[in-house]
Amino acid sequence: MILKEIKNIYHKELDALYAKEEVESFFYLLIDHYLQLERFVLVIQPNLTLTKEEEQPLFEALSELKLQRPVQYIMGKTTFMDLDFEVNESVLIPRPETEDLVRWILDEADGRFANKKIKILDIGTGSGCIAISLAKHLQDAQISAMDISENALKTAKKNAESNSVKVDFSEVDILKSDGFVSGFDIIVSNPPYVRELEKKEMHKNVLEHEPDLALFVSDENPLIFYDAITKFAKQNLSKNGMLFFEINQYLAKETEALLLQHHFLEIEVRKDMFGNDRMTKALLG
């Protein structure tokens, strides 16, 4: 079949489910992934014809996209901070706004902790995207990461190996943890923060495929992880150590109040690319 015709079939089958631009993105991601074809291939070869063997994975992916399975899970990988990460249903798909959080940490590390071999802990590491990206950019830092999910940690360890970095991984439930190796200069977490009441705002591809364990908290106690991690950070950060969170945009003031309650200083909230309160930094005095 001619590749251009397959592209037309993608639009015919998927435009009712996704924005046309998103369908275009899916198509080009998949031909690159399965066939190593560049985006401009149809300009150069408008009548490029695929064999049955070549077109099969494209139609299999189309079937999964119709079920609203995320394209990253279909391919089994995604890109974060210009690094490749394996992803599957055991881990959240890394988001661009989390890249902004990593860049913020890198800026602070280059400034406040310049010329120091710093220790960093990532709590709820998932795919390992935060810890591994920090390890890649801060090659003298000692990076640790924890998660409650054994399967997530297996994925994170693979990602650390494939990106040639060293991260010390531990299986820990932060809600039950009463101790760790203290003296961290930076603790960072992107914990579960989506309230049950917010499910109605979410797309089916997230609700039905990404892990609930990494996403949702109860309406009654939405800051349960922030409270536990803040208390943990008080015990395990070094003096003038820093705590970074990705946060629920609707609970920025509540998160800030929690940090103030535990006597953190210099609290700053930053917005994501969509103008939503998305991340916070605080200093342990």
Distance CA 36, CA 194 (A): 37
Distance CA 179, CA 192 (A): 21
SS3 259: helix
SS3 164: coil
**Token couple for 104:** 């913020």
Give, in words, the CATH class of 77-284.
Answer: alpha beta
Domain boundaries, the chain: 3-67, 77-284
Long-range CB contacts (within 8 A, 24+) of 261-264: 262/230, 262/231, 262/234, 263/234, 264/230
* Residue partners of 156: CB distance under 8 A and separation at least 6: 91, 125, 126, 127, 128, 131, 132, 145, 147, 167, 169
pLDDT of the residue at 35: 97
Query: Are the CB atoms for 217 and 192 separated by under 8 Å?
Result: yes
pLDDT tens-digit map of 47-57: 999 999 999 99
Query: In the block, which residue shows the tokens 């119709």?
Result: 66
Three-state SS string over 178-247 comes to CCCCCCEEEEEECCCCEEHHHHHHCCHHHHCCCCHHHCEECCCCCCHHHHHHHHHHHHHEEEEEEEEEEC
pLDDT of the residue at 178: 67
pLDDT of the residue at 132: 98
Distance CA 37, CA 35 (A): 5
Instruction: Give the Å distances, CA to CA, from 78 to 35, 83, 85, 95, 195.
Output: 17, 8, 5, 10, 26
pLDDT tens-digit map of 188-198: 999 999 898 99
Query: Are the CB atoms for 254 and 223 separated by under 8 Å?
Result: yes
pLDDT 10s digit of each residue in the chain, 285 long? 999 999 999 999 999 999 999 999 999 999 999 999 999 999 999 999 999 999 999 999 999 999 999 999 999 999 999 999 999 999 999 999 999 999 999 999 988 888 789 999 999 999 999 999 999 999 899 999 999 999 999 999 999 999 999 999 999 999 987 666 678 999 999 999 989 899 888 777 787 788 888 889 999 999 999 999 999 999 999 989 999 999 999 999 999 999 999 999 999 999 999 999 999 999 997
